[in-house]
Chain A
């Protein structure tokens, strides 16, 4: 059993109302404290790509920021490779890189290179090592052409790739990626997914906690996925198992020609239970009747269906 790279235990976070008593004393409106996370527990294994999905305001960002030591939990604990995020926050930050889609996190009047050099120095890298690492990352993320361009003059996609480059600057064993392909064109997004996938397979592997609204991306990349809704983890499993939670059946559509000597192509649809023998039987029968199979389409339940299921459950609770 691989060791946990990120271990989250009974984590709760409630944002208190600042100066509640003072506001009440001056008869100013007092907002209620906001419960962002409640009793969240899970582990992310070394070298795993772990997906976290949920609607806006579900608690994904708070969870990521607690792991990144930017926010302290109300109760519970988070440890990254054995280091507690509150007690040993500096050691935790040495082990992680966070890439968000937040454009304001860079200095707009500095170039991409100058920005990365600043953060490399804060990580304690020597200028020589930093330059070498930056050139590797610029090549890997196809940023060489814009390396000397001011951040403010870069396209949104390049800004996002630079955020990923910054997260990888110190070669951290754990990466927290918040919607890493949100602003990328389809080709660049595919390359980013390939990069993420390769990071988890390299030696030593990088552990990745990925939050995304692109469910297809999560399904493709992640070994396990957690569904978070209203601050609680509602389900956690492999994408395949999660999909089977909504429906165990799937629709199969076959396009065939030459059936019973006919030259016309025909579409045959049927429902089957996952992994039953109906598809096999149907294919044998069609071949016996001289049919040529032109196309096969399978409609399965998606993570979207699972997300909708838990959201609707949450609303009725």
Chain B
């Protein structure tokens, strides 16, 4: 018997690790991976709540999140390839054309 709150704590920890990765990583691809980590943390809490209230729709929402994440990964990685082709770097500090 595991309390549901442990799963929720794990999901909050995963989300926060994703945010920290988003802040400290300097590589465009790794920043993108941190976003995937945040999405996974949220998915875990959806599944935990779906189990808590015996609702199927929570799991279906996770399914939709996976679909959107797949679309996002395809488009985002295409953008990364285009950026790399134009600027020959993946460091987010050097991709600063729009910075004031």
Query: Are A and B associated in one complex?
Result: no
